[in-house]
Structures are given as structure tokens and as C-alpha cells.
């Protein structure tokens, strides 16, 4: 009987975790500039916040947060790394492309996977 209760509790726990992930409005994004350099972000669509995972979950300053329903696709955000270098990230959430610019002259673009980061009207219709 104890085994059955344990299995039942485990089942509901796993069901709850899987449903909370489906409902969650957070997206983890890893953008590669080249084979050695990448940036990771956790985007919370509901709170309109972005955490820079590579820099101890630093909360980035959001200049523009895209409204996909109104045709917006660019997210502009900034932060400072551990070496006090200022970074500006321009992320196209429909094409999954990032551009990184620093105050030291670094300016590179990269790819964040092979599909749209935010679900667009076109992808909903398919």
C-alpha cells in the first residue's frame, strides 16, 4: 500500500511539473557568436525580464521588449559583465539572431538556434 501511495504521489508531482513547464512564460536561449563564444539568457515573457545566465543571473536592463502581436521582433537589452565591460544585446526574436556590442569596440553577430524564439502568428497557424 505504501508503494502505491508513493507511486501516486510521484505521478501527480511529475504531472504538476510537466504542466507548469507548458504554462510557463519563460524561455532559455543560448546564442552562439562563434565556436568558442556564446551568451545564455532566461527570458520571462510575462514579467518582461531577462536574466543573463553567464553572469550570475544578472537582470538585464530592457530598452525594448517586443510585442509580437503588433509586429515587433527586436529585443534590446544591456548589462555589465564581471570585468565591468558594458554589453548591449540586440536580439531578433523571430529570426533568432543576436548582435552584441560592447563599450570596448566588440561588435559581433550570432545565431540563437534554428527557429523563432517567440511564437509568431505564422507559426501558430501551421
- Sorted by sequence, the CB contacts under 8 Å of residue 79 that are 6+ apart come out as 52, 55, 58, 60, 61, 86, 87, 89
Provide the whole-model pTM.
Answer: 0.76
At residue 125, does pLDDT exceed 70? no
Grid coordinates standing for 101?
556590442
State how far the Cα of 37 lies from the Cα of 111, in Å rounded to an integer.
11
* DSSP 8-state symbol, 34: S
The mean pLDDT of 65-74, rounded to a whole number, is 89
Residues 4-58 have pLDDT tens digits of 555 555 554 444 444 444 456 899 999 999 989 999 999 999 899 999 999 999 9
Amino acid at each position: 500500500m505504501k508503494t502505491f501511495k508513493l507511486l501516486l504521489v510521484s505521478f501527480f508531482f511529475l504531472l504538476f511539473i510537466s504542466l507548469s513547464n507548458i504554462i510557463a512564460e519563460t524561455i532559455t536561449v543560448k546564442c552562439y557568436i562563434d565556436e568558442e563564444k556564446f551568451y545564455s539568457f532566461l527570458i520571462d515573457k510575462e514579467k518582461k525580464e531577462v536574466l543573463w545566465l553567464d553572469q550570475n543571473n544578472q537582470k538585464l536592463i530592457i530598452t525594448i521588449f517586443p510585442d509580437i502581436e503588433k509586429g515587433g521582433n527586436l529585443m534590446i537589452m544591456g548589462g555589465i559583465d564581471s570585468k565591468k565591460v558594458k554589453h548591449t544585446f540586440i536580439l531578433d526574436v523571430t529570426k533568432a539572431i543576436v548582435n552584441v556590442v560592447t563599450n570596448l569596440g566588440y561588435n559581433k553577430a550570432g545565431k540563437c538556434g534554428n527557429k523563432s524564439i517567440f511564437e509568431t502568428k505564422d507559426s501558430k497557424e501551421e
